[in-house]
Structure 1
Amino acid sequence: MLISFICNILISIIAYFITRKLIPNLKEMFIRSNIYGVDLNKDNGIKIPEAFGVVTGCIFLISLFLFIPIPFGHIFFKDKSDDFSNNEFVELISALLSICCMILLGFADDVLDLKWRHKLLLPTIASLPLLMVYYVNFNSTTIMLPKILHDIFTSSINIGFFYYVYMGSLAVFCTNAINILAGINGLEVGQSLIIAISVIAFNLLQIFKDSVSEKHQLSLYIMCPYLATTLALWEFNKYPSSVFVGDTFNYLSGMTFAVVGILGHFSKTLLLFFIPQILNFLYSTPQLFHLIPCPRHRLPKFDPKSGLLNYSKTSFKLDELSLFGRFFFFVLKSFRLIKYEVTKDSVIFCNNLTLINFFIIFTGPIHENKLNSLILYFQIVCSLFAFMIIYPLAHIFYN
């Protein structure tokens, strides 16, 4: 493993420098191809190339392609002393296939602006090769139950087909969770970096514990090149952004995390590193399901005079909402999770339901870079909390 890991690190370092060199050289090409946008949180009107996740995604895949002969040398040279078996080789190939599909579909979304129903369907389709390989190699659908449930049920329960539904849903959630917690410079890439570092740290800790080390090695080999290429992208996407990552990067990142979680058998643990994304999804639910009016863009509102961001708003009348819509509005209002005002015409102006706007409610108007740092600090705290759940607290609930 040590030789393979060193080679993986070296390839990752090379991938970092290639990506760092390639991004500025490709900016003009993207603009000439009309793949660009304007930063709505700036008033300079500068054209910024979009969909640069396709660049890092390609370098990431090439890095893994070049790495394949190292841990799987026995397939090419008939040397049985190498790290992995044929099963792990098939798993890696299926992982690359799923990731490659999501890069293609993500770039199609950036160019064609697909509808939300397509964004839910595409990750499901892309995860099918991965689920098929999981079925052939493992087909383990048993989950462990907490100690408090042992007297009612048993220590574990086999949920069968529903486990595959869960894994397919995990791929859909991971790809879209990063996508909806976005809108300010560096946030998508920043949160992905923190999650990637958390996954790598978890893999290393599990390897040192000799806990099914082969699966965590495979996860590690995928995550290191991803971290390297993402770090290079972050240097150009952080405030003030000179490139935008597009949905391509969000789909690439989400599928990569889902892949390592499923193949590494820590899909439930992976969700602990997505606590901010889960909170953002739950908070956004009324708008995502159109129980409360959802505008096309829920970005914070930029004030060109002060240069600060304020929360953006949606408007509606209470009697126009469905029963569930009124229920969610009442709950959010009762727990003071929203900021709203009512006009004389009974029109309610309420903040858009995103974690970004939620932070602005409590901070007041804030600079974009400071807001980004605040959310990323929150992501780090949540990752530390996740490790506390995984190790010290897990023994309380599980044997």
Structure 2
Amino acid sequence: MWSLVILILLSLFAYILTDELIYKLQSLFINAGLFGIDLCKVSKEKIPEAIGVISGCVFLITILLFIPIGFGYSLMDRGNFPHHEFAELLAALLSICCMLLLGFADDVLNLKWRYKLLLPTIASLPLLVVYYVNFNSTTFIIPIPLRQFFGISVNIGFLYYIYMGMLAVFCTNAINILAGINGLEVGQSVIIALSIILFNIIELRGDQYKAHNFSLHIMIPYLATTLALLKHNWYPSKVFVGDTFCYVSGMTFAVVGILSHFSKTVLLFFLPQIINFLYSVPQLFHIVPCPRHRLPKYSAETDLLRASRTVVLKKDMPLLTKVVLRIFTSLKLVDKVEDKDGVILNNMTLINLVLIKLGPMSEVQLTKTLLVFQIFCTCIAFLIRYPMASYFYDLNIYNNFVS
């Protein structure tokens, strides 16, 4: 436990360092051409972009500095050195470091979406190799109502590694597509990080103490550096975090979920991101036209945001598009206007859905609304993970296999 106290002190220093570096290095990013214009503001001043690389670097450095402290006693007694735990930590750092590098490359080179799906897969390979060597547990526990058909558990073998690779891809991109207004990317990441830390603290009393202790050693420095970034990214944003931050955050959550054996619980903390992804599928797969930016539309006269829109031309409308629009319209998930030439409807993101349901609102109010929804979903996640799980699982068996 003493190691956690030292880690918290290091993390406090990391917060101060990140805060200071972001303040001092903003001009370097602008001079290097890494800047953007806030499309939801009247002002057209240059705002430094890809600042997530600063918080990511300090986060990694903090964990690296902690290694001699965390493994200090073990280094003195080489016969009892925890090689498996050390390999896990190095693999975690390697995967996160890869995403830091690849994310910054994306911010600089503006890579296409197909590469954004490929990069997390490559970066997760060290993670999967260490998981295979140290654990190689590929068993799913079957809910009690289905056990008469499938038994208590099912070993899915290699498919489990595909699932974990897809988890890394989802986590890194899910935060990236629920973005675009001041403080949202960092705010949702802070809430997810706090949710994981709370879950780890609850589970420290159980049989998986080492796994959750490992997760805390990664999440606490991450939270500290991310809070410093949020200070500068909150409305009105002085910096943009870029894809670098989204990649590092997603990979960090995937790392602790996989190596600490609670990957399904991590997905529960991603409920808003899952909803946003499912709602966005028609545009992500170009069933419905998808513009480059799906940000809300800003009105300078009212200083409010309203849902942005896209146009579907009737003459080019495939049958699948017609079916999708009919389903979404019947479920009242789109606000559309139809004329003889085509259909005008809102862009399919959770941000725009909130605006069509609650009406135009200020950017800061929209961010707060979405973050409150994130907190609400976290409460639902804990409800599913604890009280409801007992109805579907024998918890003694579940806690031994859960991941």
TMscore range, shorter length:
over 0.9
Give the one of 234, 237, 246 matched to 1:241: 237
Post-superposition, which runs of at least 4 consecutive aligned residues in structure 1 deviate over 4 A? none
Deviation at 1:21, TM superposition (A): 1.1
Query: Could you tell me which of 346, 351, 374 is aligned with 2:341?
Result: 346
- Asked whether 1:378 is paired with 2:373, we answer yes
> What's 1:47 paired with?
46
Pick the aligned partner of 1:170 from 167, 172, 188: 167
> C-alpha distance in 1, partners of 2:195/2:78?
34
Q: What is the aligned counterpart of 1:87 among 84, 87, 90?
A: 84
Question: Partner residue of 1:26?
Answer: 25
Q: Which runs of 5+ in 1 are unaligned?
A: none
2:306 to 307, 310, 328: 310
SS of the residue corresponding to residue 194 of structure 2 reads helix
- The DSSP-based 3-state class of the residue aligned with 2:148 is coil
Is the contact made by 1:318 and 1:326 (CA closer than 8 Å) also made in structure 2? Answer: no
Tell whether 2:356 aligns with 1:361.
Answer: yes
Structure 2 match to 1:59: 58
Q: CA deviation at 1:86?
A: 1.1
Q: Secondary structure at the match of 2:44?
A: coil
CA distance in structure 1 between the aligned counterparts of 2:242 and 2:336, rounded to whole angstroms? 31
Where 1:69 maps in the other structure, the secondary structure is helix
Tell me how far 1:298 sits from its aligned partner. Answer: 0.2
The CA deviation at 1:75 is: 4.9
Question: Letter of the aligned partner of 1:19 in structure 2?
Answer: T
CA offset at residue 326 of structure 1? 1.8
**Which residue in 2 is equivalent to 1:68?**
67
Whether contact under 8 Å (2:59, 2:222) holds in the other structure is yes
Q: Kindly tell me the number of residue pairs found equivalent between the two proteins.
A: 394
In structure 2, the gaps of 5 or more residues are 395-403
Deviation at 1:318, TM superposition (A): 3.7
Native 8 Å contact 2:235 2:364 kept in 1: yes
| Residue 184 of structure 1, aligned match among 166, 181, 184 | 181
**How far apart are 1:47 and its partner, in Å?**
0.4
| Residues 140, 154 of structure 2: 8 Å contact kept | yes
Counterparts of 2:306 and 2:89 in 1: how far apart (Å)? Answer: 44
Q: Find the partner of 1:110 among 95, 107, 111.
A: 107
Instruction: Kindly indicate whether the alpha-carbon contact (under 8 Å) linking 1:190 and 1:234 is maintained by their aligned counterparts in 2.
Output: yes
- Aligned counterparts, 1:209-358, within 5 A: 210-343=206-339, 345-358=340-353
The whole-number CA distance in structure 1 between the counterparts of 2:167 and 2:199 is 19
Secondary structure, in 3 states, of the residue corresponding to 1:151? helix
Which residue identity does 2:302 align to in structure 1?
A: S
Are the counterparts in 2 of residues 94 and 133 from structure 1 also a CA contact under 8 Å? yes
Q: Deviations over 1:66-99 (max 9, x none)?
A: 0111222245322667xx7210100000000000
Whole-angstrom distance in 1 between the partners of 2:314 and 2:211: 52
Would you say the 8 A contact 1:291–1:321 is kept in 2?
A: no
Output the CA distance in 1 between the equivalents of 2:254 and 2:316: 39
Task: Give CA-to-partner distance per residue, 1:124-183, whole Å, 9 cap, x none.
Answer: 000000000000001100011100111011110000000000000000000000000001
Of 390, 395, 401, which residue of structure 2 is paired with 1:395? 390
- Are 2:294 and 2:347, in contact at CA under 8 Å, matched by a contact in 1? yes
Instruction: Give the Cα separation in 2 of the matches to 1:261 and 1:13.
Output: 24
Q: Take 1:211 and 1:226, find their aligned partners in 2: how far apart are those partners?
A: 25
Q: Aligned partners of 1:80 and 1:143: how far apart in 2?
A: 35
Matches of 1:62 and 1:336 in 2, distance apart? 48
User: What is the SS of the residue equivalent to 2:322?
Assistant: helix
Q: CA RMSD in A?
A: 1.1
Q: Distance in 2 between matches of 1:137 and 1:19?
A: 34
Partner of 1:147: 144
Is the contact made by 1:74 and 1:80 (CA closer than 8 Å) also made in structure 2? no
8 Å Cα contact 1:194-1:379 kept in structure 2: yes
Shift of 1:107: 0.3
Post-superposition offset of 1:364:
1.2
TM-score for the superposition, normalised by structure 1: 0.97
Q: Distance in 2 between matches of 1:62 and 1:328?
A: 47
Native 8 Å contact 2:315 2:341 kept in 1: no
**Would the aligned equivalents of 2:336 and 2:345 in 1 still touch at CA under 8 Å?**
yes
**In 2, distance between residues paired with 1:259 and 1:192?**
14
Q: Aligned partners of 2:58 and 2:224: how far apart in 1?
A: 10
TM-score by length of 2: 0.96
Query: Residue 234 of structure 1 aligns to which amino acid in structure 2?
Result: L
Shift of 1:322: 2.7
* Superposed CA offset, 1:174-224 (max 9, x none): 00000000010000000000000000000010002x231101100010000
